[in-house]
Amino acid sequence: MLPGEFVGIVVDFENTHELIEKVGEGYLKASWNDENGLKTGYLIVSSGNIVGMIVEDLMTRKTTKGKDALDEIIKVCRERKVKAVELYKASVEDILKEFPDAKVSLSTLPGMIPGHELEELIDLLTSYEGELKVHHPSTSWSIHVEGGKVKAAKTIRGPTLRGDPAVRHLFREMGEVLRNGQYEMGRNMAFSPFDIVEDEHDFIGALELLNEKRKIDLQKNS
């Protein structure tokens, strides 16, 4: 549907933000099945941001664009139906000229929470059980959270750490995650006995402390 130079395909990707950075200017393409048939989605990206969205029904050739496509993309991300993503370099300016109603302005993919949105993350984790991925510029972690507590952990980018050392490293880097990172609701985490933590790591408690410190710093600077 969209023109472009094929860069590659990524299967079982760990870090969706890295895919956006890798493309630079162009789009991410993925297909999935839903109750109405086969669909293909396009995330048009530029300079690390999502600037357009299109979803095409391959049976009817009907397309939804922009904010109308956002709900479908969010649903697909939450249900983890996408197993592979194709990467394309392309002229974003030309694409948006052809499809002006595709325009959106998002800093992250649906399902990802910016590092500074601590209150949103705390609310979410209160009832969440499953994998949470944490990204900052040099390291990514995969942790299994239950009731706000970390039960297993490992790094998936950066230094190789597992179990308690991975959690302690994450806690030391929380300030950097706040400034330049993001959180991502993951797939079901496959972890080994080496990833299981032995100490009590209260992740929500750490986020609440970080949030209080940020509020104090903002008051001092206001």
Q: What is the pLDDT of residues 74-113, one digit of tens each?
A: 777 656 678 889 999 999 999 999 999 999 876 556 567 7
| Least confident among 26-30, 73-77, 132-136, 186-190 | 186-190
The 8-class DSSP code of residue 101 comes to: G
Q: Per-residue pLDDT tens for 108-144?
A: 565 677 788 888 788 878 877 888 889 888 899 999 9
User: What pLDDT is recorded for position 98?
Assistant: 94
User: What pLDDT is recorded for position 68?
Assistant: 81
Average pLDDT over residues 43-52: 87
User: Looking at the DSSP assignment, which residues form a beta bridge with residue 6?
Assistant: 88
Contact at 8 Å (CB) between 87 and 20?
A: no
User: Looking at the DSSP assignment, which residues form a beta bridge with residue 43?
Assistant: 28, 53
User: What pLDDT is recorded for position 13?
Assistant: 63
Average pLDDT over residues 8-31: 82
Q: Is 70 left (phi over 0), alpha (psi -120 to 50) or beta?
A: alpha
Handedness of CA 122, 45, 55, 79 (dihedral sign): negative
Q: Work out the pLDDT band at 198, boundaries 50, 70, 90.
A: very high
User: Looking at the DSSP assignment, which residues form a beta bridge with residue 134?
Assistant: 141, 183
Identify each DSSP E strand in the chain by its residue range: 5-11, 25-34, 37-46, 49-57, 63-65, 84-89, 103-106, 112-114, 129-136, 139-146, 149-157, 182-185
What is the pTM (predicted TM-score) of this model?
Answer: 0.57
Closest CA to 132 of 192, 183, 74, 80: 183
